[in-house]
Structures are given as structure tokens and as C-alpha cells.
Structure 1
Amino acid sequence: MSLRCGISPRPSAQSCLPFPTYSTASRLTVRILFDMPSTNASEPIPIETSHEDMIHDAQLDYYGKRLATCSSDRTVKVFDVVDGDTQRSGGHTLKGHTGPVWQVAWAHPKFGQILASCSYDGKVIIWKEQPAQGPTPGGWAKIKEHTLHKASVNSVSWAPHELGAILACASSDGTISVLTFKNDGQWGADVFEGHAIGCNAVSWAPAVQPGSLIVPQPSNTIPGQQPVSIQSVKRFASAGCDNLVKIWGFRDESQSWVEEEVLEGHTDWVRDVAWAPNIGLARSYIATASQDKTVLIWTKDTPTSPWVKTALDPSSASVSPTTGAPAPAGKFPDVVWRVSWSLAGNILAVSCGDGKVTLWKENLKGVWECVSDMTS
């Protein structure tokens, strides 16, 4: 289970309300909505973080047992979570940034307890939990401080664990960097131009190509022979202040990242991008959120087919009413800050500047419907 929520903006934003999959938040607290039998899903559990300023992001780890939060107070906090309650005795405050911390991201547990954070100070810090040694208690230590960006780093995203320990970073200086943990214990860094006037978000594609789990095996396969291997791919999407979404792929022959496709559809800054997880089915989904108050769902049926965009229509949603004049068809009442897919990739959470989080699902006719909403 993952959780992310943003209460105030990253650079150049005016306001930012919660962005959860199963959570909402206030300025200094986080509320988690657990989809568990032991909890009441209709009553989110508030968690006091003791941050001294706006909370910008919150993430549960892979197992949902730890919560990481970050704030304009320049700190990252890590809590143990038991049935929705944080254990204050297990809380840690991570200090290393000199500006507001915009986002945190947990690495897959196969790499250990590793957390990445990015900040307005232009730095990305990768933290790792250190075990207790005798009378010395355990804690968190920096294992990498990435300082190659010249402006705010707005987003960090770990690649699927099948690809290794790889972290993509998006910056207001227009560049994207990809950090890769090498066999010699060092971190390699690739930095390249992404969006001319700033990059706001990055999101990785699944490591498994769509449809690869249903690839037919040769009819002449000998019993005991290894089946056709499933090829992993390194690919991610980025969202920029140039109103564009770009798809990037890694080329082994040149050992470099190349721009594969450009998705045009928004008329203002693209604030967030989220590539849906999949289980090897034939279709790819990408969701994008924009300053233009729209959310677009991009679908691709085959590796060679074009991306097709569909706009979510909040005016058709059968959810609790909002105050004020209704938004035009295809438009949300306010700027849309964040989008997030469920782990199965079939439900999309949308966080809007009006303080509401809506959950969307595609019906059997291929129409996206709002199935629930939460208000901060």
C-alpha cells in the first residue's frame, strides 16, 4: 500500500490540497484511510506529525508499516504505523535539507529500508536505516546526496525493483536526472534536458511490457526447456511546465536516455503524471493532472499504436456536491495537483485544489466514472 498527500505547493503553486490513494490531510496532520477489516474505512485516522510547517507529501512503505512525511520545516519524519496509529517512540526526524522538502519516496524493501527526498534547495538525499550496534541505537543516515541540479527538485520516483535501485528526479531547471546504484557500491548519474521551462513530476512504467505475460510459447518447446524470457524495459514519463508529457526510454547500445514520444493535450502546466501498474495485460494507462483543471487518461493498446487521450468529466460524477458554480464539462472546480493509481492499476485517485479527492474507475463500456470522494 502506498500513500501520498500534499498540503501545499511545490514551486510556483498557489495552493495544494491532499493527494492520497487512501488518505487526506490537514496542514500539520495526516489522515490515513485504511482498507482493512480492523479499521473503519469511513473514518480516516488522524496522525499528528509534529511538523512545524506545511506538510507536502506523505508515503507509506511497501508493507504499509511505516509512514514518511516531509514539510516546509525542512525535515523528513519517519514513523512506525500500527493499525493506523503512529508509534511516537519509533519516530525519527531526518535533517539535511536547507529548504522545503517537496516529496519522499520509499525504495522496494529488497534494497533495505531506503528513502529518497527532494527539496527546493536543489538536492536529492537518499537515506538508509542503520541497525543498532550494541548500546548505540539505530537511526537513519545519508548514503547519497545528489547535487547536480541547479534549481528546485520537485519529484523523485523509484524504478520497479526488477530494474535495480534506480531513482528518477525532476527539477525546475528543466533537467531530469537518473541515479543508478552500481555493482561497485557507487551511484551513477545521468542528467539530460527534459522540459525547457521546468519539470514537475516523473513516473516509471511497469518493468514488464504490456501483454508480455500472455506471450504464447513455441509449439515445439521441449519438456524441461526454459520458456521464452520476459524482457524488462526501462521507461518513464515526465510532466513539464511546457504543457507536455514526455516518454523516455533507455537505449542499451548508447547507454543513454532518449525521448520516445511527446503527449500533447493540456493547455497549461502539467502538475503530475502517474503510469498505472499492470499485470502484463495488453493496455498501458497514464494519468496526467494539470493547471488547466483537467485530468487526462492516456491509453495505448499495443507497443506500436498511438496514445489515445480521454478527459475525466467531473460534471457527470455522482458524488457529494461542491459549493459554488459548477465547473464546465471536462473541468474540475480547481487546479488538479496530484493523481495516483491503486496497486492493481484499476482505480485512480485525483486530488483537486477544492480540497476534494475523488476516486475513478473505468466501467465495462470503457467510460471513466467517479465512484467515491473524500473531503479534506
Structure 2
Amino acid sequence: MAKEVLTLDNGTTCSSWNYSGTRLAAGSADGTLSIFDSRDPPSSSSLRLSFKSKVHEGNIVKIVWVPPAYGDAVACISVDGIVSLLEEVVEDSQPLQWKICKCFGSSSDKVLDVQFGISLASLKMVAAYSDGHMKVFELLDPLELKNWQLQAEFQNVIESVSSFGKAVCLSASISFNPQNGGSQESSFLVGFNSNTSELNSAKVWEFDQAHQRWLPVAELAVAEDKGDQVYAVAWAPNIGRTYEIIAVATHKGLAIWHLGLNPDHDGRLPVERVAVLSGHDGMVWQMEWDMSGMTLATTGQDGMVRLWQSNLNGVWHQQAAFEPTS
């Protein structure tokens, strides 16, 4: 039976568990960041507040944890498009504190989403901006989260010579390939919700080591849907499959895609849409896979949380649905 472990304050707008599931970060409408830790002993199911402070002037809309190899740190995205990177620090005999070590974005150059990935033993951060551009930053020193360098900047288009007017993007969603890391080069997925059809469709980007640039290697959209606005994307962990599984949410529903691993002569990876699922009433805001990559959790405008799985015949279906408690 489900048991409540924490009640968040009124005005809480977002929350995020760390990689081990032992700490919870929560953001509020007034720009306050709260950190909750698991109580000792670890078997205890309750959480205690270990830090609370105002870190933004405006509403915090998303929190993303930095991979644990780089310490305890979070990126907070505010409604005004500023990303604040905060890390937990110890100063002399003072209690643990969270302090801002770096900021990205500006009022005219708003960040919509960020995600972290590890490739070639270095930490990368991909940021999607309100003008349709993406920027890839690389951490120069693993011990200094304030030292970042811009590695690349490009737009989410297949043809680099594409010409269109000024893009206005309401939201974006990024998901790194969870299998990348260590000595491998990274790849990630991104989709936009914008007024520019060329930017919207979810595309897989991979770093070309030979030419030192990021290249689009797949587009997850059938011909008639390529201009559809994308609300959320999620790349599933892969345990032994000969293909990747990716979820893409648009106004037409939730699409499940298979991404092949062997590129063609143009360097493109084969894609196949294997399911289009409906169930949410309105926009899907967020999607998360479990560690096995077999169960997808989604939530959105209707306030419902839905779990999706495929059966032994590969047919996807809704496994469970949870209604808000109040």
C-alpha cells in the first residue's frame, strides 16, 4: 500500500529526486529551493528538510540534478529563463550550505531546458533556448562547477541551411542517451514547442569526433507530423536490446519509437514508430522511464500520472493510472 513520505508546501511548482533516490529538491513559485534528505536509518521512509533558501526572483519551473560523480549539485531553471547552478559546500565548521556557483541565460536569451551527460570522461550540459538554439557546454575542471566552456551552438534542424523567420519557443525538452558515458561520445534527443515547424520535431544529435561537431542522426516524426510541437521527450535505458526506445509527446498523443543502432551510408539511424498512445486529457508535461527501460511514467495538464508498458507481443498499453489526492 502506498505511504505518504512528505507533504510539500503550497506554491511548490516542481521537484526532482537525486540519482540514488535519497534526496529530493523542490522549487517554489517565490523562487525558493528546498532540499530534503532521507532520515537515518536509511530504512526510514520519511524525509527531513536540510536546506531552504530563495535562489531566484521568479518561479522555479524545473530542477535537474548534476550526475553524482561531480558532487551534490542542482540546476534550477526559473520562469525568466535563468539557470542557476548550485552546489553543496562545507565552509569551516559551518553546516552544509547550497551556494550558486554559475548562472546561464538572460532575459533576452531564455533557457527552456537543461540536461547533463557524460562523454569521454567529461561532463556536458545541453541547454535549449527560447530562440530555438541549443548550446553545449563542457566542464573544464571536474572539481570546479563554475568553470564551463561553450563547445557548440546550433539549431534543432536537419538541414543547416534551413531559412525561417525569428523563432519563438514556448518550451523544449532534452533527454540524454542514458547508456552514454565514460569513454563513449554522447548523444541526446531534443524537441521544441515553437512557432517554427522546422525546429519542433524530436531529433537525435550525436557528436562526430572526426569533424568535432554535433550532427543530427535521426528525426522521430512521420512525414505528416514533422511540424508538430513537441511537449516532452524521454530516452529509455537499454539493457541488452538491439535498438533504443524513445518516447515523444505531442498534441496527437504519446509516440513510442524504436531507434536502430546501425547507421546507413548517410550516417542516419533507422527509426520506426511502434505505438501512438492516448489517455491524457491535454498536454503531457513530463515523462520518466524506470531503470530497466520497460515502464514509462507520464504526467500532464490533467493532473494524472499514468504508467505504460508493452506486453510480450510488443503491444503498448496503459498499466496503471493515479489521480491527484486533492
- Structure 1 contact 204–237 (Cα < 8 Å) conserved: yes
- Structure 1 contact 197–240 (Cα < 8 Å) conserved: no
Aligned equivalent of 1:279, options 219, 239, 243: 239
After superposition, what is the alpha-carbon deviation per residue over 1:64-117, rounded to whole angstroms, capped at 9, x for unaligned? 1110011221222111133442213x2x12433232211111122221111111
CA–CA distance in 2 between the matches of 1:162 and 1:258? 17
More strand by share: 2
Quick one: which amino acid aligns to residue 85 of structure 1? S
1:99-178 equivalent positions in 2, closer than 5 A: 99-134=58-93, 136-147=94-105, 150-160=108-118, 163-178=121-136
User: What residue number does 1:205 align with?
Assistant: 177
Quick one: which amino acid aligns to residue 259 of structure 1? P
User: What residue number does 1:308 align with?
Assistant: 272
CA–CA distance in 2 between the matches of 1:343 and 1:163? 22
User: What residue number does 1:33 align with?
Assistant: none
**Secondary structure in 1 aligned to 2:245?**
strand
Shift of 1:364: 1.3
User: What residue number does 2:162 align with?
Assistant: none
The percentage of counterpart residues that share the same residue type is 27
Higher relative contact order (CA 8 A, sep 6+): 1
- Structure 2 contact 247–256 (Cα < 8 Å) conserved: yes
- Structure 1 contact 149–173 (Cα < 8 Å) conserved: no
Aligned: 1:336 with 2:284: yes
Q: 1:121 to 1:371 in 2, by over 3 A?
A: same
CA–CA distance in 2 between the matches of 1:66 and 1:288? 28
- Structure 2 contact 61–78 (Cα < 8 Å) conserved: yes
After superposition, what is the alpha-carbon deviation per residue over 1:146-191, rounded to whole angstroms, capped at 9, x for unaligned? 1368343222211147743222222222121222111484211233
- Structure 2 contact 120–185 (Cα < 8 Å) conserved: no
Aligned equivalent of 1:288, options 248, 259, 263: 248
1:1-376 equivalent positions in 2, closer than 5 A: 40=1, 42-43=2-3, 45=4, 47-50=6-9, 53=11, 55-82=12-39, 83-88=44-49, 90=50, 92-134=51-93, 136-147=94-105, 150-160=108-118, 163-183=121-141, 185=144, 186-189=147-150, 190-194=152-156, 196-198=167-169, 199-208=171-180, 232-241=184-193, 242=197, 243-265=200-222, 266=225, 268-290=228-250, 292-304=251-263, 305-314=269-278, 332-376=280-324
Shift of 1:246: 1.4
Unaligned runs of 5+ in 2: 158-166, 264-268
Shift of 1:278: 1.4
* TM-score w.r.t. length of structure 2: 0.81
Shift of 1:280: 4.6
**Secondary structure in 1 aligned to 2:69?**
helix
**Secondary structure in 1 aligned to 2:314?**
coil
Shift of 1:362: 1.4
- Structure 1 contact 169–176 (Cα < 8 Å) conserved: yes
- Structure 1 contact 286–299 (Cα < 8 Å) conserved: yes
CA–CA distance in 2 between the matches of 1:95 and 1:303? 48
* TM-score w.r.t. length of structure 1: 0.71
- Structure 1 contact 67–80 (Cα < 8 Å) conserved: yes
- Structure 2 contact 89–97 (Cα < 8 Å) conserved: yes
Quick one: which amino acid aligns to residue 307 of structure 1? V
CA–CA distance in 2 between the matches of 1:123 and 1:303? 38
Greater mean deviation of Cα atoms: 182-191 or 363-372 = 182-191
After superposition, what is the alpha-carbon deviation per residue over 1:305-325, rounded to whole angstroms, capped at 9, x for unaligned? 5211133434xxxxxxxxxxx
Q: 1:232 to 1:301 in 2, by over 3 A?
A: same
